[in-house]
Amino acid sequence: MLIVACRQRLVGCGSMHMLKVCGTADRFSTSLCHTMFSSAVPYKNQHYSELKKACIKDKKLFEDSEFPAINSSLFFRRSPPGRVEWKRPGEISKSPHLFVEGISAHDLNQGSVGNCWFVAACSCLALKENLWKKVIPDWKEQEWDSTHPEDYAGIFHFQFWLFGEWVDVVVDDRLPTVNGELIYCHSKDNNEFWSALLEKAYAKLAGYAVVDFTGAVAEAIDLEAEAFHSDQKKQDELFTDLLKVYDRGGLISCSIKAKAHEIELKMGNGLVKGHAYSVTAVKNVRLGHGLLAYFKNETIPMIRMRNPWGKTEWNGAWSDTSEEWSKVGDTERGNLGITVADDGEFWMVFSDWCKYFTDVDVCRLINTSVISIHKRWHEVVHFGSWTKNADPLLNRCGGCYNHKLTFLQNPQYLFDVTKEVDQVLLSLQQKDMKINRKYGQGENQTVGFSIIKVETNRKYRLHDIVTQQFVATSTYINARTVFMRVNLQQGRYIVMPTSFKPLTLTDYMLRLFTDVDSGCRELMDDKPKVRCWSSFVGYPQVVSHIYVHAAQGLENQDKTGGNYPYVIIYCEGKSVESPVKKDTLEPEFAFSAVFYRKHPRKPITVQIWNSNAVKDQFMGQVMLTGSVKDTTEAQVLRLRKQGSQMAEEMPGYISLKIVTVTQLTAI
């Protein structure tokens, strides 16, 4: 659940983002609800129960050969903060425990190496019992048992979400210390070791913490670039969204951008630059005292955070001892758990938070459960690769749209939006290459994706973008995950995950969430296949693309109500119907269809109808020859009647464009 790896543009370990806590979002799962009880894959084929039994039988403590107790296991291109000694918990404390009086966000302190982002992530994890019990499985069985010391084998295991699956990671209990003190994440109680052991498992899995604690979806928000502090409407919308995320079990972290020399620099207001804070509450705090406060129902949006240091807090408005808290009644203050102590946890009014913090990582737990009181999503997950092939039609590594000649040589995933408007969440995750840094295989690729609106009846790969509509393009960044939320109109779309440059070869995972099932699927075929019966029934000779822009001057069909026109395109016994346009005689359809035609001499018919509860009404049509010799320019045509009267005109005009070609892979 920790969110993801650190954001590339930030400098230094102290500035790593924690969404880097919630789940990089990148590692996605089918939803936490779905995977919560799924079995985990043993990392490096190390089975916890088998290894523990063997150690107990041989009466020895486990030593992990896959993650030896040496400096190179923990440090990459830097030196430790002193002479490192590896000690087991029993050598650090006389009475070691996994947990002391349960698990709490206040358990944790940052180590002497700058790992604030991991501590912030653990703080978020500690707030969600259903999550930490997944990350720390069999926690009761793993606890020290003083009555049966012979059962202790010095071995622990933890679970993380890694590129689409839960992975079970085994570690021994040897922990790095300097001068007898743990140098990484540790608990305030010197005999509590869950966080130190968890971080060791995290480091083993990724070489450094770059893995998620959950299968959630992470979104990075740049408060500074989007100027939330000066836009009240955007600020209100963001607060509403974060409140939903928090109430539904999601995780949030934040930080303040810092230059290299400003890392962990304390500002005059008590906040620290280049430092990850965990958000521990999002609330509308009620103002006033007594019953009057409930009747007035006056609230103020606020957010609570925790500094991983366990001290050093915000000292501005609504800080622990500020006079603003006199505006809040005792009952409300009790509900909020207000404490006057330098414990690292503090409240801020949301407007100040937007003003002083610059980066937010939001980790959403996506609910796909059918049984739920909260919004549920339909999810589709695709695993794929950017691959190279000598045949351009089989190439799948064309790079971003800057490379127009090869752009369409990328994987293409088709999905439908069936509601009038639907919010769509998309997340593209690449396999994290940073875990291979020690082997000289280095950096993540710069990746992103584009969303293109296509013909309502498209079934084959897209080969031309001139006639298509780009509706959204993500940011391209060398991070594990790229995320986008976008509202899409009813229609058919293609999402195209790409690397920034062509011929970049790596694996990826694409997740798409919609309110209604989108039928998302990868387009594999470039054109209709030749079947054994094609010689009898015929094979397409040409392909035609019809784009209907709009209609003007239509005849009123309903004297007492509105007009609801829509388009139907007919070709060789097949038809495609557009969405209905509400209450207009000048509809803008922006509607297209594509047909692979076996009989090019048969015309294409475009009709306009009025949607009616009793019976739809015909409003006019045009007949198109669809010849390869016809103009490819936009046309404005007079509507005509149908049947035996098709030569007669009807009120109104339709503007459209048709392109017909013999090369079936040209459109």
Using one digit for the tens of pLDDT, what is the confidence trace for 278-315? Answer: 898 999 998 887 777 667 778 899 999 988 777 889 99
Give the mean pLDDT of the chain: 83
Confidence band, pLDDT 50/70/90 cuts, at residue 111: low
- Domain with 554 in it: what CATH number? 2.60.40.150
For residue 571, give the amino acid letter.
C
Query: pLDDT tens for residues 628-637?
Result: 999 999 999 9
Cβ atoms 180, 172 nearer than 8 A: no
Confidence band, pLDDT 50/70/90 cuts, at residue 253: confident
Contacts of 660 (CB under 8 A, 6+ apart): 542, 543, 544, 545, 597, 600, 626, 627, 628, 630
Report how far residue 70's alpha carbon sits from residue 245's, in angstroms, rounded to the nearest whole number. Answer: 40
Confidence band, pLDDT 50/70/90 cuts, at residue 557: confident
366 alpha carbon, distance to own chain's centre: 9
Report how far residue 172's alpha carbon sits from residue 157's, in angstroms, rounded to the nearest whole number. Answer: 9
Identify the active-site residue in 116, 122, 185, 400: 116
Taking the alpha carbons at both ends of the chain, their separation in whole angstroms is: 43
Q: What pLDDT score was predicted for residue 388?
A: 94
Asked if the structure places residue 532 within a domain, the reply is no
Residue with tokens 């119907």: 577
Q: What pLDDT score was predicted for residue 351?
A: 96
Asked if the structure places residue 372 within a domain, the reply is no
Identify the active-site residue in 157, 229, 275, 545: 275
Contacts of 23 (CB under 8 A, 6+ apart): 1, 2, 3, 4, 161, 212, 213, 214, 215, 216, 217, 218, 251, 363
In terms of domains, do 49 and 138 share one? yes
Asked if the structure places residue 52 within a domain, the reply is yes
Q: What pLDDT score was predicted for residue 598?
A: 95
In terms of domains, do 543 and 497 share one? no
In terms of domains, do 393 and 358 share one? no
What is the torsional sign of CA 527, 533, 537, 541? Answer: positive
Taking residue 294's Cβ as centre, other Cβ atoms within 10 Å add up to 12
Residue 16 has pLDDT above 50, yes or no: no
Taking residue 402's Cβ as centre, other Cβ atoms within 10 Å add up to 11
Q: What pLDDT score was predicted for residue 26?
A: 33
Residue 606 has pLDDT above 70, yes or no: yes
Report how far residue 245's alpha carbon sits from residue 362's, in angstroms, rounded to the nearest whole number. Answer: 8
Q: What pLDDT score was predicted for residue 18?
A: 31
In terms of domains, do 107 and 40 share one? yes
Residue 619 has pLDDT above 60, yes or no: yes
Domain count, the chain: 4
In terms of domains, do 116 and 55 share one? yes
Asked if the structure places residue 44 within a domain, the reply is yes
Residue with tokens 């001139």: 466
In terms of domains, do 269 and 166 share one? no
Average pLDDT of span 393-411: 94
Q: What pLDDT score was predicted for residue 99?
A: 86
Report how far residue 52's alpha carbon sits from residue 63's, in angstroms, rounded to the nearest whole number. Answer: 11
Residue 29 has pLDDT above 70, yes or no: no
Mapped to the 3 state alphabet, what secondary structure does 266-331 carry? ECCCCCECCCCEEEEEEEEEECECHHHHHHHCCEEEEEEEECCCCCCCCCCCCCCCCHHHHHECHH
In terms of domains, do 184 and 245 share one? no
Confidence band, pLDDT 50/70/90 cuts, at residue 10: very low
Query: pLDDT tens for residues 336-373?
Result: 877 766 778 899 999 999 999 999 988 877 665 555 55
Cβ atoms 493, 451 nearer than 8 A: yes
Residue 42 has pLDDT above 70, yes or no: yes
Report how far residue 361's alpha carbon sits from residue 229's, in angstroms, rounded to the nearest whole number. Answer: 17
Asked if the structure places residue 445 within a domain, the reply is yes
Residue 232 has pLDDT above 50, yes or no: yes
Query: pLDDT tens for residues 569-601?
Result: 999 999 999 999 999 999 999 999 999 999 999
Cβ atoms 207, 323 nearer than 8 A: no
Domain boundary (364, 392, 415) is at 364
Report how far residue 97's alpha carbon sits from residue 219's, in angstroms, rounded to the nearest whole number. Answer: 35
Report how far residue 150's alpha carbon sits from residue 383's, in angstroms, rounded to the nearest whole number. Answer: 45
In terms of domains, do 416 and 391 share one? yes
Residue with tokens 């450094």: 208
Cβ atoms 498, 447 nearer than 8 A: yes
Report how far residue 586's alpha carbon sits from residue 555's, in angstroms, rounded to the nearest whole number. Answer: 10
Range name among 95-104, 155-164, 228-237, 315-324 with the lowest pLDDT average: 95-104
Burial class (CB in 10 A: 0-12, 13-18, 19+), 42: middle
DSSP 93-156: -SS-BS-SSS--GGGEE--SSS-HHHHHHHHHHHT-HHHHHHHSTTHHHHS--TT-GGG--SEE
> Which of 50-59, 164-173, 195-204 tops mean pLDDT?
50-59
Q: What pLDDT score was predicted for residue 106?
A: 64
Asked if the structure places residue 37 within a domain, the reply is yes
Cβ atoms 493, 378 nearer than 8 A: no
Average pLDDT of span 103-122: 65
In terms of domains, do 124 and 184 share one? yes
Burial class (CB in 10 A: 0-12, 13-18, 19+), 518: buried
Contacts of 272 (CB under 8 A, 6+ apart): 256, 264, 265, 266, 307, 309, 312
Instruction: Give yes or no: 307 in active site.
Output: yes
- Bigger pLDDT: 380 or 210? 380
Which two tokens mark 522?
């990868």
Range name among 197-211, 459-473, 484-498 with the lowest pLDDT average: 197-211
Confidence band, pLDDT 50/70/90 cuts, at residue 112: low
In terms of domains, do 357 and 382 share one? no
In terms of domains, do 105 and 175 share one? yes
Q: What pLDDT score was predicted for residue 168?
A: 93
Residue 621 has pLDDT above 90, yes or no: yes
Average pLDDT of span 58-64: 94
What 3-state class would DSSP assign to 204? helix
pTM exceeding 0.85: no
Contacts of 171 (CB under 8 A, 6+ apart): 64, 67, 155, 156, 157, 158, 197, 200, 201, 204
In terms of domains, do 30 and 151 share one? yes
Identify the active-site residue in 6, 33, 115, 307: 307
Q: What pLDDT score was predicted for residue 74?
A: 65
Task: Print the domain residue range for 308.
Answer: 222-364
Find the farthest-apart pair of alpha carbons in the chain and give their distance in angstroms, rounded: 99
Asked if the structure places residue 260 within a domain, the reply is yes
Residue with tokens 């009747």: 295
What 3-state class would DSSP assign to 485? strand
Burial class (CB in 10 A: 0-12, 13-18, 19+), 193: buried
Instruction: Give yes or no: 275 in active site.
Output: yes
Residue with tokens 């999550």: 131
Report how far residue 427's alpha carbon sits from residue 499's, in angstroms, rounded to the nearest whole number. Answer: 14
- Bigger pLDDT: 613 or 524? 524
Q: What pLDDT score was predicted for residue 61?
A: 95
- Domain with 330 in it: what CATH number? 3.90.70.10
Query: Which DSSP state fits 191?
Result: T
Domain boundary (206, 241, 274) is at 206
Domain boundary (330, 364, 398) is at 364
Instruction: Give yes or no: 389 in active site.
Output: no
Asked if the structure places residue 7 within a domain, the reply is no
Cβ atoms 200, 208 nearer than 8 A: no
Residue 383 has pLDDT above 90, yes or no: yes
Confidence band, pLDDT 50/70/90 cuts, at residue 210: very low
Which two tokens mark 338?
């207000």
Range name among 43-57, 150-164, 430-444, 504-518 with the lowest pLDDT average: 430-444
Residue with tokens 């999905």: 415
